[in-house]
């Protein structure tokens, strides 16, 4: 049965149980600016066939990355997937017993907002630095005796790659943890890994390997920590073992009793089954191997730098990212959002305007662009030609 309606009596009983006077009381924490007022222009009802047809028509309006030159970045990357594949802030608080998180200005705004929401809920302070192209090193001046963790991203929102070794040393000297975020896992085939740079905790988006874009998800998160912090990691940790017959198997090696018994003390209540994404990632990674990952990473690096060289030859276009892997940020002579819309009208998915991610007007002209092994020379030529036309 797909739909289980509630009567008014049912609703009132549920509200009384949780101590709310009305349904509206459940949304008091949602800012007024984010609420929709008035009625929604939708029919009272429709048959399944009609709804399916309408939703399919809506979906057909999307420009699929499989049908267009694609240069979008900022956490979503198109890579070739072989046919064979077909709550950390809180952790640092538990470890350090401190109450402040320093957030780099290079951190993806969506990640920053999520952290701030979670931190607010548990009374943890956040020191979020202003958005900046090369911001990671600036976190050094914000570390103090109250700092539980420093969160940096490399490559960051603007594509800037940073060696965070000195930040790790400074954070750890002050008794804080360094948390490194990486949205492009493919970069680990060429750049120094967070662990090599001294990170205590690492959060990586693994979508680039084996997982299609799928209009934003589901994706696959990769999470790691130094061994001494394993029991403070959220979720359930699986270990490899052998059974009585010597066959390979897996068990919940470090699943603490709090996860099952003292649930109010649990490090998380994560029960999501993302097995399909994890399996796809594993298959693609096994096909690549260590050397294959390095080769693909080098191709990404070369494609992106070639694209950058072509784009900055256009009048008024400047690359503001000082060092990058396969993603960089352009400063255009005009607002970036209308440019992206104009490119889409020409059948090109040409990047992400920073203004779509953050309201800082200083970055209204900034456009995040990525290139991968899937971009052909013809794609690049088409993109450069179309951008030149749009800007003229």
Of residues 40 and 107, more confidence is placed in 107
- Domain locations in the chain? 65-79+290-391, 88-278
DSSP state of 70: B
65-79+290-391, which class in CATH? alpha beta
Of residues 197 and 374, more confidence is placed in 197
The SS3 assignment for 310 reads: helix
Helix or strand run (H / E) with residue 152: strand 147-153
C-alpha to C-alpha distance for 323 and 319, rounded to whole angstroms: 10
The pLDDT value recorded for residue 86 is: 46
Q: How many CB atoms lie within 10 A of CB 32?
A: 6
- Average of per-residue pLDDT across 223-231: 83
C-alpha to C-alpha distance for 78 and 245, rounded to whole angstroms: 43
C-alpha to C-alpha distance for 392 and 387, rounded to whole angstroms: 8
Would you state the torsion angle of the CA atoms of residues 159, 204, 186, 328, taken in this order, to the nearest 10 degrees?
A: -10
C-alpha to C-alpha distance for 156 and 78, rounded to whole angstroms: 18
The pLDDT value recorded for residue 80 is: 55
CA-to-CA dists, residue 118 to 129, 203, 375, angstroms:
17, 16, 38
Of residues 360 and 46, more confidence is placed in 360
Cβ distance 343 to 386 under 8 Å?
yes
- 88-278: CATH topology is 3.40.640
**pLDDT tens figures, 233-280:** 766 677 788 888 999 988 776 655 555 556 566 655 555 556 777 778
Q: Environment class of residue 361 by beta-carbon count within 10 Å: exposed (0-12), middle (13-18) or buried (19+)?
A: exposed
- Average of per-residue pLDDT across 136-158: 93
Which DSSP string corresponds to 11-65?
A: HHHHHHHHT-SSGGGGGTTS-GGGSPPS-----S---HHHHHHHHHHHHHTS--G
| Bridge-based pairing state of the strands 366-370 and 352-353 | antiparallel
The SS3 assignment for 153 reads: strand
CA-to-CA dists, residue 330 to 102, 133, 157, 183, 366, angstroms:
27, 11, 12, 19, 6
DSSP state of 107: S
The pLDDT value recorded for residue 33 is: 83
The answer to whether residue 48 scores a pLDDT higher than 50 is yes
The pLDDT value recorded for residue 36 is: 79
Of residues 346 and 72, more confidence is placed in 346
Cβ distance 374 to 70 under 8 Å?
yes
Q: Alpha-carbon torsion 162, 166, 169, 174, what sign?
A: negative
Banded model confidence at residue 104, pLDDT cuts 50, 70, 90: very high
Structure tokens at 186: 């493919």
- What radius of gyration, in Å, describes the C-alpha atoms of the chain? 23
Tabulate helix, strand, coil % of the chain (nearest 5): 40, 15, 45
Minimal CA–CA distance to 164: which of 177, 146, 175, 178? 178
Helix or strand run (H / E) with residue 370: strand 366-370
Banded model confidence at residue 390, pLDDT cuts 50, 70, 90: very high
C-alpha to C-alpha distance for 195 and 191, rounded to whole angstroms: 11
DSSP state of 349: B
Q: In what order do the strands lie in the sheet with 125-128?
A: 125-128, 100-103, 147-153, 177-182, 201-205, 221-225
Beta bridge partners of 251: 239
**pLDDT tens figures, 175-195:** 999 999 998 999 999 999 999
Measured in degrees and rounded to the nearest 5, phi and psi for residue 311 equal: -70, -40
| Bridge-based pairing state of the strands 318-319 and 327-331 | antiparallel
Which DSSP string corresponds to 315-346?
A: TT-EE--SSBSSEEEEE-SS-HHHHHHHHHHT
The answer to whether residue 90 scores a pLDDT higher than 60 is yes
CA-to-CA dists, residue 378 to 77, 275, 314, 384, 385, angstroms:
19, 37, 18, 10, 10
């Amino acid at each position: 049965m797909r739909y289980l309606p509630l009567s008014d009596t049912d609703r009132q009983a549920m509200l009384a149980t949780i101590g709310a006077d009305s349904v509206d009381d459940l949304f008091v924490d949602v800012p007024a600016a984010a609420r929709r007022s008035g009625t929604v222009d939708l029919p009272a009802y429709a048959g399944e066939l009609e709804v399916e047809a309408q939703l399919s028509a809506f979906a057909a309006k999307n420009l699929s990355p499989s049908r267009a030159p694609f240069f979008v970045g900022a956490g979503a990357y198109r890579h070739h997937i072989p046919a064979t594949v077909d709550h950390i802030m809180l952790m640092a608080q538990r470890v350090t017993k401190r109450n402040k998180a320093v957030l780099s200005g290079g951190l993806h705004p969506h990640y920053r907002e999520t952290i701030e929401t979670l931190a607010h809920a548990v009374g943890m302070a956040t020191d979020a630095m202003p958005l900046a192209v090369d911001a990671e090193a600036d976190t050094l001046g914000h570390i103090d005796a109250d700092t539980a963790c420093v969160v940096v991203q490399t490559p960051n929102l603007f594509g800037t790659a940073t060696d965070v070794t000195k930040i790790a040393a400074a954070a750890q000297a002050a008794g804080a943890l360094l948390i490194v975020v990486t949205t492009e896992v493919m970069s680990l085939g060429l750049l120094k890994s967070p662990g090599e740079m001294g990170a205590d905790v690492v959060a990586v988006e693994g979508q680039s390997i084996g997982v299609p874009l799928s209009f934003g998800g589901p994706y696959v998160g990769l999470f790691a920590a130094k061994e001494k912090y394993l029991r403070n990691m959220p979720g359930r940790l699986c270990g490899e073992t052998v059974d009585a017959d010597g066959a390979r198997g897996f068990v919940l090696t470090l699943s603490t009793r709090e996860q099952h018994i003292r649930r109010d003390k649990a490090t998380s209540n994560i029960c999501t089954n993302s097995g399909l994404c994890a399996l796809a990632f594993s298959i693609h990674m096994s096909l690549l191997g260590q050397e294959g990952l390095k080769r693909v990473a080098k191709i990404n690096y070369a494609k992106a730098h070639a694209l950058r060289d072509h784009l900055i030859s256009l009048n008024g276009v400047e690359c503001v990212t000082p060092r990058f892997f396969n993603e960089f940020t352009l400063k255009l002579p005009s607002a970036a959002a209308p440019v992206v819309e104009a490119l889409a009208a020409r059948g090109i998915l040409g990047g992400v305007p920073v203004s779509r991610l953050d309201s800082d007007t200083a970055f209204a002209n900034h456009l995040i662009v990525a290139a991968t092994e899937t971009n052909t020379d013809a794609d690049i030529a088409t993109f450069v030609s179309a951008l030149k036309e749009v800007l003229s």
